[in-house]
């Protein structure tokens, strides 16, 4: 029995299945590679050549993305407790003067994560909109500016490119 032969009914080899189990547990490709003995090139090759592997990897990544979104939502909406320090040391909670294990925390929220979550979940309402307009003098079209330069006696720049270049001959050339 070889590890790279499909033995499972899901189309994965034992080796692929083992790697995906590590990836699902650790959430990092490098760490899954280290623990499974698979190098990253093999993982990338499997993504290119095995539809079963690609689909299983996508399902694990979907779970990972859900986990990341939950963490972002928690930080943005519910906030996280940030230990308060003074001169690098935790500040003890004055409400518990006799308990050395109680410290002061401040609830911290992430406005930038909240903005990203709003944009991702309701792009019609919250997406970033930008507009760029280019115009000539007085709001006119740009091409008129170029035409006026030609008409003003500056000549056509193409003439300079196609005009023959005159070189001076020296006495040595003659």
Q: Tens digit of pLDDT per residue, the chain (174 long)?
A: 444 555 567 889 999 999 999 999 999 999 999 999 999 999 999 999 999 999 999 999 999 999 999 999 999 999 999 999 999 999 999 999 999 999 999 999 999 999 998 988 888 888 887 878 777 677 776 665 455 555 555 555 555 555 555 666 555 555
Given its phi and psi angles, is residue 55 left (phi above 0), alpha (psi -120 to 50 degrees) or beta? alpha
Please give the radius of gyration of the chain, using alpha carbons only, rounded to the nearest integer. 33
Return d(Cα 26, Cα 35) in angstroms, integer: 10
- pTM higher than the cut 0.75: no
Q: Could you tell me the two tokens for 162?
A: 């196609």
């Amino acid at each position: 029995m070889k590890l790279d032969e499909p033995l499972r009914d899901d189309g994965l080899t034992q080796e692929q299945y083992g790697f995906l189990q590590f990836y699902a547990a650790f959430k990092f490709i490098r760490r899954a590679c280290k623990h499974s003995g698979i190098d990253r090139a093999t993982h990338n090759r499997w993504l290119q050549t095995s539809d079963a592997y690609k689909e299983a990897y996508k399902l694990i990544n979907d779970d990972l993305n859900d986990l990341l979104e939950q963490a972002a939502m928690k930080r943005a909406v519910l906030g996280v407790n940030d230990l308060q320090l003074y001169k690098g040391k935790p500040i003890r909670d004055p409400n518990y003067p006799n308990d050395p294990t109680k410290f002061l925390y401040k609830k911290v929220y992430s406005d930038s994560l909240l903005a990203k979550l709003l944009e991702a979940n309701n792009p019609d309402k919250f997406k970033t909109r930008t507009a760029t307009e280019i115009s000539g003098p007085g709001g006119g079209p740009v091409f008129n500016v170029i035409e006026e330069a030609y008409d003003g006696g500056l000549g056509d720049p193409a003439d300079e490119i196609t005009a023959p270049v005159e070189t001076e001959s020296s006495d040595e050339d003659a």
